[in-house]
Structure 1
Amino acid sequence: MAGRRDGSLMREKGQSFRGSRIAVAIAVGVLLGCVLALLYPNGLFSSNPPRQLQKLSRSGLQTASSSCESQERVNALKSDIASLSEKNMELKKQVRELTEKLRLAEQGQDNAQKQFLVLGEQHKAGPFGTVKGLRTNPTVIPDESVSPRLGKLLEEVAIGKELIVALANSNVKDMLEVWFTSIKKVGIPNYLVVALDDEIAEFCKANEVPMYKRDPDQGIDTIGKTGGNHAVSGLKFRILREFLQLGYSVLLSDVDIVYLQNPFDHLHRDSDVESMTDGHNNMTAYGYNDVFDEPAMGWARYAHTMRIWVYNSGFFYIRPTIPSIELLDRVAGRLSREPNSWDQAVFNEELFFPSHPGYEGLHAARRTMDYYLFMNSKVLFKEVRKDAKLSKLKPVIVHINYHPDKLPRMKAVVEFYVNGKKDALQPFPDGSQW
């Protein structure tokens, strides 16, 4: 009995000792957990380091990354500026396009888009007197590869894809100054001088005149720098081709012209070529039936002929169409093969001669400008200045094409129409003094 009691006592003591050890272990564990909870509130294995460690890491990295961050900010700002510049150019382009569309809508004259839509379609003829054919050829698709540098310049200068263009070398420097001064006075922004030598290029820059100097071209450069009026005039047909290929309409202008109004407000834009005339009245300017008399033919002695005075190749508006480019190619080609030919004569022959055996004529639409608005110097000095009513009219331009004393007559035109000097035109004779 005693042995059993002792054994049970021993087991009880062992169990109580084991229980006390477990209790101590639990207490130690709870205490350790509390300590750890105080030291590591975010957890022992948290992805976020303690604040002190974060502060230390931040202060250590700030110095190392400051230069990188400043460079990144500079690069970001450059990228933003480039992006804004592109957006600005795009907005300008959209404004020009909208301006052109608005102009076409207001004018109601340019039928190029209508013709494009109906190409290839067949139509029935309407009632008598209602049929009217389309007048305007569609414009070409612009080819920017022709001259990227010129194309970029034209985007800045042209308005509604059109502009005034003049060719000039140092031989016509004084007339060029009167020319661009009158343009500035009227307030025409879309004009450009093709400088044929360095002196004119610098002269334009000094006077804030939009200028374009072509890449070196042997042959063209020689003529452009040293050639006279007729030689330089012949160059324009080759140089204008680039403008048309880029999709721009050009109002080609000689420099012996005074501008008194904006010519773009008075164009019809319904033809490939719209030109001023050398005619001096309705018959000579717009055409007439001239009867040729040959008495030896008896009953058939009278032969009817159609006459019109030539277009002036020193002032014409040309649209970027296939017939227009073909005209420039034909004239430039003939002038290169026939060096003694006059460019104005060739220009008119290619425009007007019809197709006939051995020759295929140019299929281009043309319009004659109002000769009182786009006035030549014969009309001015022989008629207008002597007529009280006509002298009160204000032309768009005056072209001193009939007289060799161009500069003094240009200045007199400015005095008469701009400065109001009534007798400014009186000292000059009707014609020229040989």
Structure 2
Amino acid sequence: MVGRRDALLTRDKGQSSAGSRIVAAVVVGVLIGCVFAFFSPNGLFTAAPTPLIRHPKMVSSACESPEQVNALKVDILSAKEKNSELKKQVKDLMEKLRLAEQGKGHAQEQFLVLGESHKAGPFGTVRALRTNPPVIPDESVNPRLAKILGEVAIYKELIVVLANTNVKEMLELWFTNIKKAGIPNYLVVALDDNIEEFCKSNDVPVYRRDPDQGVDAVGKSGGNHAVSGLKFRVLREFLQLGYSVLLSDVDIVYLQNPFDYLYRDSDVESMSDGHNNMTAYGYNDVFDEPSMGWARYAHTMRIWVYNSGFFYIRPTIPSIELLDRVANRLSNDPKSWDQAVFNEELFFPSHPGYDGLHAAKRTMDMYLFMNSKVLFKTVRKNAKLKKLKPVIIHVNYHPNKFERMKAIVEFYVNGKQDALDHFPDGSD
């Protein structure tokens, strides 16, 4: 037992001695660290401090003369102007790129250009894009016309009519009723000197185009159909200048301001040659072919044509493409009827060998923008419909246009209730 106790005492003494040495080493280390911290606060291996370098202009700014300061200010202003100009150029280039992409006519590319991709919303809430963006106005196309439009148009919209001496009487009735209806934004495109002077003498806004061989010949001596075909080429400049045009034939009586009744959500917004809801707005027409037996009935979609003598057209790429297509076809085949060509280009879909026009379209209310068939065949015989006041009435279905126009004024403006009674429904 004694030997065991001595051994334990000896081991305890050894452990105590080792612990003392460890404590001493820790204390010495702490003391050495404090000494180094005092004499080398940034550490032993810290890189030499980088001297502060001042910009030469900063150093010498206090010594610069007022002339030098002014020169620096001028340099700064010049740099700002150049920066602003560069931003404008970039913006213009981006807009041109956007229009170029849109002009390809591909729906997917157009959608990507107009906005970011989106997820489809809940059932019944999804609405597609309908309104194409307007083109960038280009006044270099026709500076003289641009100046006239800047004075005449309101909100970049105006009524435009083409006229030569052949329709002088109807033109006078046309602008007289426009003035009575309080419509200020209208313009007569004079196709000969006589009409130009006639408009000026009656305080009517007028524009005479620059001489153009071929076009001038049609304008001066052409009949209604020839002049009607000419308008598609003339209208192009209006759209390029960034203006929306309500194209009007001269055989139209204005009773209200049409700009108060437009939707402006489509490239083309036109009155219809239809005479009821089905023909004006479209219907499902069933074709019967008995020889087919069980499959004898074929469903077809039909709509009566848009009237090319009264339509609202916005300055968009599809609108300008429409005008180009129609003008090109009419120039290659002068015997074509402009209204037929206008509707074919507007409605025919793409199919093998043909790329259809990607244009949005809207049919106008047939009782507000009324054709003469609706008036003389239906409205004048209906007590309730006779109380309605149309926006315009287009005498497009009848040959004795001037007489019927005067009767329409008597009925709707002067209140003569029997003014329309003596005319036949049709042209006989």
- TM tier relative to shorter chain: 0.7 to 0.9
Aligned runs of 1:235-250 on 2, under 5 Å?
Answer: 235-250=230-245
Corresponding letter in the other structure for 1:205: K
2:309 is equivalent to residue 337 of structure 1: no
In the alignment, what sits opposite 1:225?
220
In the alignment, what sits opposite 1:313?
308
Aligned runs of 1:31-430 on 2, under 5 Å?
Answer: 119-430=114-425
**Separation in structure 2 between the aligned mates of residue 337 and residue 120 of structure 1, nearest angstrom:** 39
Give per-residue Cα distances to partners, 1:222-280, cap 9 Å, x unaligned: 00000000000000000000000000000000000000000000000000000000000
Q: Is the Cα contact below 8 Å between 1:251 and 1:316 reproduced in 2?
A: yes
**Separation in structure 2 between the aligned mates of residue 366 and residue 219 of structure 1, nearest angstrom:** 32
Deviation at 1:116, TM superposition (A): 9.0
Change (3 A) 1:117 1:266: farther
Give per-residue Cα distances to partners, 1:98-142, cap 9 Å, x unaligned: xxxxxxxxxxxxxxxxx9997241110000000001100000000
Give per-residue Cα distances to partners, 1:323-353, cap 9 Å, x unaligned: 0000000000000011110000000000000
Aligned residues: 319
Q: Is the Cα contact below 8 Å between 1:285 and 1:368 reproduced in 2?
A: yes
**Separation in structure 1 between the aligned mates of residue 114 and residue 136 of structure 2, nearest angstrom:** 16
Corresponding letter in the other structure for 1:230: H
Runs (5+) with no aligned partner, structure 2 = 1-109
Q: Which SS does the other structure have where 1:141 is aligned? A: coil
Identity value in percent = 84
Q: Is the Cα contact below 8 Å between 1:116 and 1:138 reproduced in 2?
A: no
Kindly report structure 1 stretches of 4+ aligned residues shifted beyond 3 Å.
115-118
**Separation in structure 2 between the aligned mates of residue 252 and residue 285 of structure 1, nearest angstrom:** 19
TM-score (norm. length: structure 1): 0.73
Q: Which SS does the other structure have where 1:289 is aligned? A: strand
Give per-residue Cα distances to partners, 1:298-345, cap 9 Å, x unaligned: 000000000000000000000000000000000000000111100000
Q: Is the Cα contact below 8 Å between 1:277 and 1:312 reproduced in 2?
A: yes
Q: Is the Cα contact below 8 Å between 1:144 and 1:246 reproduced in 2?
A: yes
**Separation in structure 2 between the aligned mates of residue 413 and residue 117 of structure 1, nearest angstrom:** 49
**Separation in structure 2 between the aligned mates of residue 360 and residue 118 of structure 1, nearest angstrom:** 21
Give the root-mean-square deviation of aligned CA atoms: 1.1
Runs (5+) with no aligned partner, structure 1 = 1-114
Q: Which SS does the other structure have where 1:364 is aligned? A: coil
Change (3 A) 1:327 1:118: closer
Change (3 A) 1:144 1:117: farther
**Separation in structure 1 between the aligned mates of residue 196 and residue 373 of structure 2, nearest angstrom:** 32
